[in-house]
Amino acid sequence: MAEFLQILASGLTVGAIYALIGLGFSMIYNTSEVINFAQGEFVMIGGMVTVTLYAGGQIPLAVAALAAIGITALVGIAVERLAIEPAPQNNLTTLIIITLGVSITIRGLAEVVLGKNFYHLPAFSGDTPFDLAGAEVTPQAFWVIGSLIAVMLALAWFFNRTRLGKAMLATSQNRMAAELMGINVKMILRLSFALSALLGAIAGVLTAPITMTKYDVGVMLGLKGFCAAVIGGLGTATGALFGGLLLGVSEALAAGYISSSYKDAVAFIILLGVLFFLPEGLFGRARGERV
Amino acid sequence: MALLEVENLHAGYGRIEALHGISVTIEERALSALVGANGAGKTTLLRAISGLRPATRGTIRFADRDITRLQPSARVRLGIAQVPEGRQVFPGLSVEDNLAMGGYTRNFRDVAEGRERAFALFPMLKERRASAAGTLSGGQQQMLAIARALMSKPRLLLLDEPSMGLSPLLVAEVFRVIADLKASGVTIFLVEQNAQAALRIADRAYVIETGRTVLEGSGGALMADERVKSAYLGL
Ligand SMILES: Nc1ncnc2c1ncn2[C@@H]1O[C@H](COP(=O)(O)OP(=O)(O)O)[C@@H](O)[C@H]1O
Ligand SMILES: [Mg+2]
């Protein structure tokens, strides 16, 4: 039982990271229908910039983390402005390939500027684990899951209570009608990239103390976040949330009870299974409904 | 006084030109109608006026200002609102939020006032205020689309086939609303497939064919025109 709880706790922690990354995929997909394969790089930038600014303790960790998250959001805006906006908007495949190019460019720059080393960030509240019914849970796990809850609440507030959030929903439901309302659709697209980058950076900062970080961590994390979003239903927040948690827990179970070498295969097996039986994902709506 | 002057307008989709030099003058407080067959370019003209399609040639003047190159949002702020073809409500937003989006360029007080006016004009919207717009019937969505456009307090209201796909009873209701709006002083540019109903209430009307203006005159004169009778009124 304790072993199971241990696995569950680590699965939920990793799953929360996937969920944050998956939320970023869904947000950009909703406003632009683009699948942003540079999403993983936002995760990497969040972690790597925090490590660099923190520089072993010269700047308080919280300051370094917040600055890194802000910088990543600016990178998100730059990606939209410099790579997506100038491209022909009528060909989605082209736009998606552009995001792959952006991803490779960012990773290359990170390799040149920050090097190929692994970096470690100290856990936010130390490493002394809590005992939960026999399972040892690190304080960082609470940070991760607490942050996911905070992010979900903030997003719910933004989309249900603010005019800007509703304008973003309106744009994703009918871009032409949104323009007719006087909504600045270009600004909304940039905002969606900024928010996605911000979510990715939060994931990157949270996970750096757990898994270490490196210029290329974005590749696998981005892919897992993408799987989470698609499993849950691309374009839905609930989908990204449960897709991420399901994926994280499944991976932990596979690693714990079968073999850790199967861990990464789990994501793709679940993805294929879900897509086969539920092409719209677990919480997805029929494509037609999105308009 | 002319509120909107479209002169020699060319616009289209990429390399396909849909409007080959259209000129239209819309008088303040009048109801102008635009009639034409499917594919003639009526929707494209309204899109160009709202700024959704760029003008490749020609000018659009609104309230003595050249707006040919203005962003759609700037045109809404100046007072141009559109009820697009096929209603285009935001299906996942509530009726109330759809109205709020219509008032996006307005402050919160204007939005609250506009909402009360919309509820007075269409009591049905008040009953369904919390429902997702996608769950409304076609006629209700059309009323919502009109109410939403009015939220920006437009000086010029562009209506693209508002009676399309509605039952005869609802068509009558839509035309009653349009007549009321005109009486309240809103300038209206009405695109209709229902040429008979549109020409009857129009002060001035235009007939376009494949992106060109072929006829213009008062609503009554066009109704009496032999070519209009045979081509658009089925007489
Ligand atoms: N999105 C589009 N892309 C390419 N061509 C279009 C598009 N929409 C309309 N057209 C073409 O432009 C012309 C005018 O269309 P439209 O303005 O919709 O006509 P109407 O509203 O009078 O039926 C038609 O030939 C139509 O095929
Ligand atoms: Mg049309």
DSSP labels for chain A?
Answer: -HHHHHHHHHHHHHHHHHHHHHHHHHHHHHHH----TTHHHHHHHHHHHHHHHHTTTTS-HHHHHHHHHHHHHHHHHHHIIIIITTS-TT-HHHHHHHHHHHHHHHHHHHHHHH-S--B----TT-S-PEEETTEEE-HHHHHHHHHHHHHHHHHHHHHHH-HHHHHHHHHHH-HHHHHHTT--HHHHHHHHHHHHHHHHHHHHHHHHHHH-B-TTHHHHHHHHHHHHHHHH-TT-HHHHHHHHHHHHHHHHHIIIII-GGGHHHHHHHHHHHHHHH-TT-TTPPPHHHH-
Judge whether A285 lies within some domain.
Answer: no
Using an 8 Å Cβ cutoff, are A227 and A268 in contact?
A: yes
Q: What is the pLDDT of residue A285?
A: 67
B137 touches A: beta carbon within 8 Å:
no
B11 touches A: beta carbon within 8 Å:
no
Judge whether A283 lies within some domain.
Answer: no
| Chain B residues within 8 A of A179 when measuring between CB atoms | 50-52, 72-73
| Chain A residues within 8 A of B81 when measuring between CB atoms | 180
Question: Shortest CA distance to B156 belongs to which of B176, B178, B186, B117?
Answer: B186
Q: What is the pLDDT of residue B223?
A: 87
B71 touches A: beta carbon within 8 Å:
yes
* Proportion of chain B above pLDDT 70, given as a percent: 100
Using an 8 Å Cβ cutoff, are B95 and B129 in contact?
A: yes
* Cα of A176 from ligand 1 centre, angstroms: 15
- Per-residue pLDDT, averaged over B223-230, amounts to 84
- Substitution target from A161, A173, A179, A181 for chain B, most B beta carbons within 10 A: A181
User: Are the Cβ atoms of B90 and A173 closer than 8 angstroms?
Assistant: yes
CA of B35, nearest ligand number:
1
B45-70 pLDDT tens trace:
999 999 999 999 999 999 999 999 99
CA-based torsion, B194, B196, B198, B204: positive or negative = positive
The beta-carbon neighbor of A177 closest among B90, B92, B152 is B90
User: Are the Cβ atoms of A184 and B71 closer than 8 angstroms?
Assistant: yes
- What residue's CA is closest to ligand 1, atom 20? B39
Judge whether A288 lies within some domain.
Answer: no
Q: What is the pLDDT of residue A288?
A: 41
* Cα of B133 from ligand 2 centre, angstroms: 22
Distance (Å) of CA B139 to CA B136, B147, B163, B170, B172:
8, 12, 9, 6, 11
Q: Which residues pair with B19 in a beta bridge?
A: B11
User: Are the Cβ atoms of A181 and B152 closer than 8 angstroms?
Assistant: yes
A187 touches B: beta carbon within 8 Å:
no
Count Cβ neighbours within 10 Å for each residue of A1-25 and write b for 16 or more, e otherwise: eeeeebbbbbbbbbbbbbbbbbbbb
Q: Which atom of ligand 1 is nearest to the CA of B85?
A: 21
Which parts of chain A register pLDDT below 70? 285-291
Joined tokens for residue B202: 């129009």
The beta-carbon neighbor of B104 closest among A174, A181, A289 is A181
Judge whether A95 lies within some domain.
Answer: yes
Judge whether A200 lies within some domain.
Answer: yes
Judge whether A286 lies within some domain.
Answer: no
Q: Which atom of ligand 1 is nearest to the CA of B161?
A: 21
Chain A residue closest in CA terms to B158: A180
Q: What is the pLDDT of residue B51?
A: 97
User: Are the Cβ atoms of A176 and B52 closer than 8 angstroms?
Assistant: yes
The amino acid present at A17, given as its one-letter code, is I
The C-alpha atoms of residue A75 and residue A256 are separated, in whole angstroms, by 37
Predicted confidence (pLDDT) at residue B235 exceeds the cutoff of 70: no
User: Are the Cβ atoms of A166 and B72 closer than 8 angstroms?
Assistant: no
Q: Which of residues 152-181 of B touch A (CB under 8 A)?
A: 152
The C-alpha atoms of residue B95 and residue B2 are separated, in whole angstroms, by 34
Q: Could you give the ipTM of this predicted complex? A: 0.95
Using an 8 Å Cβ cutoff, are B163 and B174 in contact?
A: yes
Pairing of strands B2-13, B55-62: antiparallel
Q: Which residues contact B207 (CB under 8 A, 6 or more apart)?
A: B34, B35, B36, B213, B214, B215, B216, B222, B228, B232
The parent domain of residue A238 ranges over 2-277
Judge whether A123 lies within some domain.
Answer: yes
pTM: 0.93
Ranking B126-135, B207-216, B222-231 by mean pLDDT, the lowest is: B222-231
Q: Which residues contact A91 (CB under 8 A, 6 or more apart)?
A: none
**B173: how many CB neighbours lie within 10 A of its CB?**
17
Question: What is the domain count for chain A?
Answer: 1
Question: Shortest CA distance to A209 belongs to which of A143, A115, A149, A151?
Answer: A143
The C-alpha atoms of residue B175 and residue B202 are separated, in whole angstroms, by 11
What is the domain-level CATH number for residue A76?
1.10.3470
User: Are the Cβ atoms of B72 and A182 closer than 8 angstroms?
Assistant: yes
User: 């925090």: which residue's tokens?
Assistant: A50
B92-145 pLDDT tens trace:
999 999 999 999 999 999 999 999 999 999 999 999 999 999 999 999 999 999
CB-based burial label for A90 (10 Å; 0-12, 13-18, 19+)? exposed
The C-alpha atoms of residue A254 and residue A169 are separated, in whole angstroms, by 37
The C-alpha atoms of residue A71 and residue A49 are separated, in whole angstroms, by 8
- Phi and psi at residue A20, to the nearest 5°: -60, -40
Judge whether A290 lies within some domain.
Answer: no
A168 touches B: beta carbon within 8 Å:
no
Q: Which residues contact B179 (CB under 8 A, 6 or more apart)?
A: B201
| H-type alpha helices, B79-137 | 95-102, 108-121, 123-127
The beta-carbon neighbor of A163 closest among B50, B84, B100 is B100
User: Are the Cβ atoms of A181 and B101 closer than 8 angstroms?
Assistant: yes
Helices B168-183 and B138-150, axial angle in degrees (round to 10): 10
Distance in Å, alpha carbon of B76 to nearest chain A alpha carbon:
6
A183 touches B: beta carbon within 8 Å:
yes
